[in-house]
Copies of this chain bind each other. A is one copy, B any other.
Amino acid sequence: MPASPNPLRRNESSRRAILDAALKLCAEVGYGRLTIEAIAARAGVSKKTIYRWWPSKGRVILEAVDDVATVVADYPDTGDLATDLHTQLTAVIDLLTPPDRSPVVGLIAEALHDADLAQQLRERLIRPRIAQFKERMRQAQLSGQVAADADLDLAVDLVYGPLYHRLVFHLGMPDARELESLVAYALRALGPTSSAR
């Protein structure tokens, strides 16, 4: 989705080499020490070619992550909401671990002082996944596992928020037991009211 030059004439093999090199280097040296010079060298590509299509290293990594993530399956739906949330939270934890090597965490850090990158990150990576989550929650409302009047926007925060709180202060990701409890708390908060029973 670059801006300036003619996308039709773009060399797809260069694009792939760049995205692959970016992810590999990020895993090797961490997002903070990642440089465009190194990406170009590793990909066997001119720096100009990177700057032609992306405005910053953040956008390169974003596209790289987006590329490998597009094949991600739909939100799990086994019928049991607690199980599905647990599954999905585990997947997110994997994406965020280890923090100093995860490209996603790198993007999060950079987005904190790059409004443009933040917007792209939100719209291209996060919004679609939030939409999937809310769709799953709507199913749960239909099946009565979640209160019909639950605010699904806040539900996102309740379910995923704990991960990010722990991430930003390096408090350690929840283990299986904690995850189970977190899901249970969230469902208790969002479940049908006692009076409805």
Q: Which residues of B contact A118 (CB under 8 A)?
A: 169-170
Contact pattern, A 23-49, Cβ under 8 Å of B = 1, otherwise 0: 000000011110000000000000000
A111 adjacent to chain B (CB < 8 Å): yes
- Contact A163 B161, CB 8 Å, known A31-B113, A106-B113, A190-B185: yes
> Is there contact, CB below 8 Å, between A122 and B171?
yes
Oligomer: number of copies: 4
Q: In the complex, what residues of B have CB within 8 A of residue A100's CB?
A: 112-113, 115
| Shortest distance from the beta carbon of A66 to any chain B beta carbon, whole Å | 15
Q: Which of B114, B115, B181 contacts A151 (CB 8 A)?
A: B181
* 11 A-B contact pairs sorted by A residue (CB < 8 Å): A100-B113, A115-B170, A154-B185, A156-B165, A157-B162, A158-B158, A158-B162, A158-B182, A164-B164, A185-B190, A188-B188
Binding site for B on A (CB under 8 A): 30-33, 99-100, 105-106, 108-115, 118-119, 121-122, 126, 151, 153-154, 156-158, 160-171, 174, 178, 181-182, 185-186, 188-190, 194, 197
